[in-house]
Amino acid sequence: MSNSNRLRIAIQKSGRLSKDCQALLKQLGVKLNLREQRLIAHSTNMPIDVLRVRDDDIPGLVMDGVCDLGIVGENVLEEVQAERVRNEQFAEVTKLSKLDFGFCRLALAWPQELGQQEKAWFNGKRIATTYPEILKQYLKRENIDASVVMLTGSVEVAPRAGLADAICDLVSTGATLEANGLMQGDTILESNACLIQNAALTDQSKLALIDKLMPRLKGVKQAKE
């Protein structure tokens, strides 16, 4: 559990979600001094500390109560949850809200020259991904007997490099697949950034602060619609 009486929020330090997270905190009225390249930024007007970490660490930090809140892509949340369930670790969080940024989909793709393929084509094939747990659940659901090759980056070059026959990767515009001669197939997961809360949070002052922030969040979301 977080032993500080300040509300701890985990956000991505640098990457696709960082700017939107910082903008959201600002819109919620949380004043931060983010200029310093430090792990923790203290709010100057609310009892809030913002932890800036890699997105992959955010679900675990919130599940373990090191942070009270976190902003993370549903893709990362689901992957970490599935991994922790498999390792018999606590994997619950309270999802407070879907946010209106970080949209993407986790989809299958394979070399364009192979043309359209049915699901059965994947039997006996190797699929490269950064999301092995989500992919394995999909393969099980669809009764596909394929092997999963875990790569933490450059997944889109795996077929060309001979590391895999197909990939399962995040897609937003589709430009990366296109540039790598890949054709998009089934979407396995649609994802947004979301705001999560530690499921065991009982500190009344922190819960009261969250209650104060939530209507503001609703207001920010409505203003954008």
Give per-residue burial for 117-154: e unless 16+ CB within 10 Å, then b.
eeeebbeeebbbbbbbbbbbbbbeeeebebebbebeee
Enumerate residues 108-167 that contact ligand PRT by CB under 6 A: none
Residue 14 CB contacts under 8 Å (≥ 6 apart), including other chains:
52
Among the listed residues 13, 18, 20, 56, the single contact to Zn ion using CB under 5 A? 56
Verify binding: residue 81, ligand PRT, rule CB under 6 A.
Answer: no
Residue nearest to ligand PRT (CB): 73
Stretch that binds Zn ion, among 19-27, 39-47, 52-60, 159-167 (CB under 5 A): 52-60
Cα–Cα nearest to 65, from 223, 206, 197: 197
Verify binding: residue 184, ligand PRT, rule CB under 6 A.
Answer: no
| Number of C-beta neighbours around residue 20 at 10 A | 17
In 3-state terms, what secondary structure has residue 223?
helix
Among the listed residues 170, 188, 194, 210, the single contact to ligand PRT using CB under 6 A? 170
Verify binding: residue 73, ligand PRT, rule CB under 6 A.
Answer: yes
Verify binding: residue 55, Zn ion, rule CB under 5 A.
Answer: yes
| 183 and 112 Cβ atoms separated by less than 8 Å | yes
CA-to-CA distance for 44 and 26, rounded, in angstroms?
12
Stretch that binds ligand PRT, among 48-56, 85-93, 195-203, 212-220 (CB under 6 A): 48-56
Residue 63 CB contacts under 8 Å (≥ 6 apart), including other chains:
80, 84, 89, 90, 91, 92, 93, 198, 199
CA-to-CA distance for 134 and 184, rounded, in angstroms?
17
Q: Which is closer to ligand PRT, CB of 7 or CB of 107?
A: 107
Q: Which is closer to ligand PRT, CB of 71 or CB of 209?
A: 71
Q: Which is closer to ligand PRT, CB of 17 or CB of 135?
A: 17
Among the listed residues 169, 185, 206, 210, the single contact to ligand PRT using CB under 6 A? 169
Total number of residues that touch ligand PRT (CB under 6 A): 21
Q: Give contact residues for ligand PRT (rule: CB under 6 A).
A: 12, 15-17, 54-56, 73, 75-76, 102, 104, 169-176, 191
